Amino acid sequence: MLSVHTSPLHQPGTGDAGGMNVYIVELAKRLAAIDIEVEIFTRATTAALPPSVELAPGVLVRHVDAGPYEGLAKEELPAQLCAFTHGVMRAWAGHRPGHYDLVHSHYWLSGHVGWLAAERWGVPLVHAMHTMAKVKNAALAAGDTPEPAARVIGEQQIVRAADRLIANTGGEADELVHHYEAARELVAVVHPGVNLDRFRPADGRAAARARLGLPADALIPLFAGRIQPLKAPDILLHAVAHLLEEDPSLRERMVVPVVGGPSGSGLAKPEGLHKLAARLGICDVVRFRPPCAQDELADWYRAASVLVMPSYSESFGLVAIEAQACGTPVVAASVGGLPVAVRDGVSGTLIQGHDPADYARALRPFASEPGRAERMGAAAARHAESFGWDTAAAATADVYAEAMRERRRLRSAHG
Residue numbers in the known binding site are 5, 11-12, 16-21, 74, 107, 131, 151, 226, 231, 301-302, 304, 314, 322, 328
Residue numbers in the known binding site for UDP-N-acetyl-alpha-D-glucosamine are 11-12, 19, 226, 231, 314, 322
The residues near 329 (Cβ < 8 Å, ≥ 6 apart) are 306, 307, 323, 347, 348, 349, 372, 373, 376, 377, 379, 380
Whether the CB-CB separation of 329 and 351 falls below 8 Å is answered with no
Report CA 366 to chain centroid distance, whole Å: 26
Q: Tell me, what DSSP letter sits at residue 6? A: S
Q: What is the CA radius of gyration of the chain?
A: 22
Helix (H, G, I), strand (E, B) or coil at 258: strand
- Strand 187-189: give its sheet, edge to edge: 52-56, 59-64, 38-43, 2-3, 103-106, 125-128, 164-167, 187-189
Residue numbers in the known binding site for 1D-myo-inositol 3-phosphate are 5, 16-21, 74, 107, 131, 151
Residue numbers in the known binding site for Mg(2+) are 301-302, 304, 328
Q: Which of 18, 3, 73 is nearest to 314 (CA)?
A: 18
Whether the CB-CB separation of 393 and 27 falls below 8 Å is answered with yes
Question: Is the alpha carbon torsion for 108, 113, 118, 120 positive or negative?
Answer: positive
